[in-house]
């Protein structure tokens, strides 16, 4: 198997252009052969990450009031993961797990960078952790970030120092969508601040299309990280007019914001089609965590819990993947997967390995192609804000400061309403031991409050 880690992009592209080498990857038959076409080079990757989008908000997830045809098309042309998780119910640590393929607890990135300005600006994804952009850039990919970073504010923590050739977006966790000259703009192109006057979601769609158009002759990695539908709640009249029948004002604005993101996703997918790239492009769509329903009226149903909680509504999210002619189309995959699986899946498709670190995610391609009937993960773990959770098969143990220990069978109780802890003391003890072992082997958080051990309290 050919490795690209030590090739410059110029060398890599020259090699491909000469047609002198067939790229062969066991689970990616489209790479074999010497014909000078898209399938003769590693796949492009478009990773779309929504912000605070609840589990039940997309049409393909059961929503009835906000059509999302373009996002839905990713599921129609690929796989929708009904048990798709993120590693944390909060923005920044969820991104750290996504971009490294590792539990962010392994390197102490357990909450959003916060505190005073002096403290906050020292925090971010540690430079000791390689992210996906750094790995793909070293392999000859053109790498671009459009949207929200939230993994570091200064020094070597910023996107243009972390593997991205191009950056258009903002560094922090939240930003206005509608331009106001009286407010400080945090939008940047590269390392320079600019004034962006277009509705921000539309601008992100515009920049994604531009990146694809300009780099169509190269292997592309585009990380398209929308801040939609995160609060601040702002939508333009164009999108609000689509939902005049929604009487609740907050819900109408939310609907406009989601519809705007769907339009922008559609523009990105059209750019892949128009540039004849879609057949050799892996597209992921994932939300960073569940919706904060008290703020946005968003819908996590039928799940219990919200953003910043370890019940399903905080960590089970819309999650889908498209790679035409390589994975099934229109399939709902029921076994648990996690956002950490993106990195090893992409690396395997590109013929690369991460020999420098332990990845916690897995390559999903063999499972999606039916080469393995086993679940990609037997067990998944979470630790956040003094709370712990483990999913082992269909059983999930949640140990929170508010409710204590709760045990659920997710195959029968997706809404986590029936606490089985008292009826299953042996299974409770087994999962408690697994969770405790995972927890105690991890370092403490690098910033924020120390992790407090959960207290056992009687379920009300």
User: Catalytic pick from 28, 60, 88, 91?
Assistant: 91
d(CA 304, CA 428): 20
Sign of CA dihedral 302, 306, 312, 317: positive
Backbone angles phi, psi at 313, to 5 degrees: -65, -20
Sign of CA dihedral 211, 216, 220, 225: positive
Assess contact for 54 and 290: CB atoms under 8 A: yes
Lookup: tokens for 35? 């014909």
| Conformation bin of residue 206: beta by default, left when phi > 0, alpha when psi is -120 to 50 | alpha
Backbone angles phi, psi at 225, to 5 degrees: -105, 90
d(CA 286, CA 23): 28
Backbone angles phi, psi at 202, to 5 degrees: -65, -40
d(CA 83, CA 61): 12
Within 10 A of 411 (CB to CB), how many other CB atoms are there?
Answer: 10
* Gap between the terminal Cα atoms of the chain: 57
d(CA 212, CA 220): 7
Instruction: Count Cβ atoms within 10 A of the Cβ of residue 393 and give its class: 0-12 exposed, 13-18 middle, 19 or more buried.
Output: middle
Query: Cis peptide before 302, with omega less than 30 degrees from 0?
Result: yes
Cross-strand pairs, 284: 47, 321
User: Catalytic pick from 123, 150, 311, 326?
Assistant: 150
- DSSP state for residue 369 in the 8-state scheme: T
Nearest of 416, 405, 370, 409 to residue 393 by alpha carbon: 409
Within 10 A of 226 (CB to CB), how many other CB atoms are there?
Answer: 27
Nearest of 90, 92, 236, 74 to residue 151 by alpha carbon: 92
Cross-strand pairs, 45: 221, 282
Helix (H) or strand (E) segment spanning residue 391? strand 387-392
91 is catalytic: yes
Within 10 A of 299 (CB to CB), how many other CB atoms are there?
Answer: 24
Backbone angles phi, psi at 220, to 5 degrees: -115, 135
As a whole number of Å, the CA-based R_g of the chain is: 21
Which residues does the annotation mark as catalytic? 91, 150
């Amino acid at each position: 198997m050919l490795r690209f880690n030590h090739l410059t992009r110029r060398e890599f592209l020259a090699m491909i252009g000469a047609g002198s080498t067939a790229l062969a990857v066991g689970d990616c038959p489209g790479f074999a052969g010497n014909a000078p076409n898209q399938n003769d080079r590693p796949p492009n990757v478009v990773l779309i990450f929504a912000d605070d989008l609840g589990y039940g908000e997309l049409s393909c997830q059961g929503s009835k009031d906000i059509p999302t045809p373009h996002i839905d098309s990713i599921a129609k042309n690929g796989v929708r993961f009904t048990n798709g998780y993120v590693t944390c119910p909060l923005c920044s640590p969820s991104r750290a797990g996504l971009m490294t393929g590792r539990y962010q607890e392994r390197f102490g990135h357990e909450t959003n960078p916060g505190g005073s300005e002096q403290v906050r600006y020292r925090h971010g994804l540690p430079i000791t952790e390689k992210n996906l952009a750094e790995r793909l850039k070293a392999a000859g990919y053109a790498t671009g970030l459009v949207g929200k970073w939230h993994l570091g504010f200064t020094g070597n923590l910023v996107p243009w120092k972390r593997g991205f050739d191009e950056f258009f977006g903002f560094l922090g966790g939240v930003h206005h969508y509608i331009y106001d000259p009286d407010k400080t703009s945090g939008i940047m192109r590269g390392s320079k601040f600019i004034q962006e006057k277009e509705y921000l979601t539309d601008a992100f769609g515009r920049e994604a299309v531009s990146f694809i158009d300009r780099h169509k002759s190269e292997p592309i990695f585009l990380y398209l990280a929308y801040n939609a539908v995160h609060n601040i709640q702002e939508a333009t009249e164009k999108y609000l007019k689509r939902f005049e029948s929604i009487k609740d004002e907050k819900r109408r604005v939310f609907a406009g914001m989601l519809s705007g993101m769907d339009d922008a996703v559609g523009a990105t997918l059209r750019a892949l089609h128009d540039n004849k790239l879609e057949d050799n492009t892996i597209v992921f769509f994932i939300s960073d965590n569940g919706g904060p329903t008290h703020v946005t009226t968003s819908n996590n149903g039928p799940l219990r819990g919200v953003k910043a909680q370890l019940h399903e509504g905080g960590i089970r999210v819309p999650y889908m993947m498209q790679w035409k002619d390589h994975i099934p189309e229109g399939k709902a995959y029921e076994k648990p997967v996690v956002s950490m699986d993106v990195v090893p899946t992409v690396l395997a498709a590109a013929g690369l390995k991460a020999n420098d670190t332990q990845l916690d995610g897995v390559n999903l391609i063999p499972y999606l192609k039916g080469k393995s009937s086993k679940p990609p993960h037997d067990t998944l773990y979470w630790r956040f804000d003094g709370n712990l959770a483990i999913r082992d098969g269909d059983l999930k143990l949640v140990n929170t400061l508010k409710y204590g220990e709760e045990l659920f069978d997710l195959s029968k109780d997706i809404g986590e309403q029936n606490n089985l802890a008292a009826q299953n003391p042996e299974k409770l003890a087994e999962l408690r031991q697994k969770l405790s072992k995972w927890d105690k082997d991890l370092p403490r958080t690098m910033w924020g409050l120390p992790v407090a051990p959960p207290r056992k309290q009687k379920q009300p």
